Amino acid sequence: MEKLAYFDSSHDFPEEIAMAAGFTPYKILGDVKERNDPADQYIQNFICPAARSFMTDALTHSSEWAGIVLAHGCDVTHRFYDVWKMHVETPFLYFLYVPMKYGTKSAATFYKKEMQRFIKALETQYGVEITDDKLKEAIVLSNSIKERMQKLSSLRGEKDISNAEYFDACVKSVQMPREDLIGVLDSLLEAWGERAAFPADKKKILLTGSDVTYPEWMDMLDEASMRVVRDDLSIGERSFAVLIPDKQDPLEAIIEYKFTMPRPATKNPPDPRFDYLFKALKDSGIKTVVSQNVKFCEPYAFDSVYLVKALKAKGYNVIQLEREYSPTKDMQIINRLEAFNEMKGETA
């Protein structure tokens, strides 16, 4: 099955439409180990390094993809569309505006029209027919994946599962052929179920902020004796925390799903994002939060000041980090995390 690649800044792209068109939705995640020189010919280095890495990925791998969709998330997505249009070779480059304002009637109406237009564009480009039945089938498959991811996610707090292993499962869930994915996730569920109990020397944390797109950063958390057992990241809980509702109109089901999933910092109003985090902490009993943003990622940098203050006021231990986009082990960050761990003694 061919890949339809997409670039969104959170979980904005409606993967089910690509699946109904017969494609594997493939989330572009860049390669942190590759230099950004190809993208840096066109983009200044004070613009999101992750997005520049995605562009490098597109410049070097677009021939492996049937087409590319940029779904609006943050400013970078639509501004990059213009630049990609000039330089990335692909038979199909599409921009899908996903409302920034969630929950209003006008936003829902507009979002539906945008998805209908996108469906028409796919049908015209690839000679496929995307029916409601096919969309519903895709939703069923998508929900099966989400259910398995929910189970895997819940094992993080019970078993000895490294941060990078969880991250790897999340990456598979947004890049692998979805039919094959079910089997892979079932095997993981079986394997993780047999793992040793959660290690006593690790602290359970909630991870929030910019999306982490490479495993090396997750390894650093392990090295600092921290285990992510809850999060609200797009390569994480955001993409599976809620299921797509069962509705007569599949597009309306997708809209309701998008409006109710754990909210990224790129949407308005912002409060549901914080509410999700507060509830996750309350439900899980976790006392420690690592909030981070990758350099130049503005939406999360804006939110972090309030979030840190609010979490502290609620009695949680919280650390805010700004990280480089780099696979290199950052000992300064590890030292800070270790010191933070030592100062905040409890292991809950």
Report the interface residues with other proteins, using CB under 8 A: 41-44, 46-48, 72, 74-76, 78-83, 85-86, 95, 97, 99-101, 104, 106-107, 109-110, 113-114, 117, 265-266, 268-270, 293, 295-296, 298-299, 301-306, 308, 320, 322
Task: Indicate the residue among 42 and 278 with the shorter CB distance to other proteins.
Answer: 42
What are the residues facing 69 on neighbouring strands?
6, 94
Residue 68 C-beta: closest distance to other proteins, Å: 13
Task: Indicate the residue among 43 and 141 with the shorter CB distance to other proteins.
Answer: 43
Task: Indicate the residue among 94 and 167 with the shorter CB distance to other proteins.
Answer: 94
Residue 185 C-beta: closest distance to other proteins, Å: 34
Cis peptide before 269 (omega within 30 of 0): yes
CB distance 112 to 120 below 8 Å: no
Backbone angles phi, psi at 5, to 5 degrees: -80, 150
Residue with tokens 């078993």: 159
Conformation bin of residue 183: beta by default, left when phi > 0, alpha when psi is -120 to 50: alpha
Residue 44 C-beta: closest distance to other proteins, Å: 6
Task: Indicate the residue among 322 and 330 with the shorter CB distance to other proteins.
Answer: 322
Neighbours of 309 (CB within 10 A): 11
Residue with tokens 């692998």: 176
User: Which 3 state secondary structure label does DSSP give 33?
Assistant: coil
Residue 18 C-beta: closest distance to other proteins, Å: 19
Residue 82 C-beta: closest distance to other proteins, Å: 4
DSSP letter for each residue of 282-304: HHHT--EEEEEEETT-HHHHHHH
Residue 67 C-beta: closest distance to other proteins, Å: 15
Backbone angles phi, psi at 10, to 5 degrees: -145, -125
Answer positive or negative: Cα dihedral of 177, 183, 189, 194: negative
Task: Indicate the residue among 10 and 163 with the shorter CB distance to other proteins.
Answer: 10
Task: Indicate the residue among 26 and 102 with the shorter CB distance to other proteins.
Answer: 102
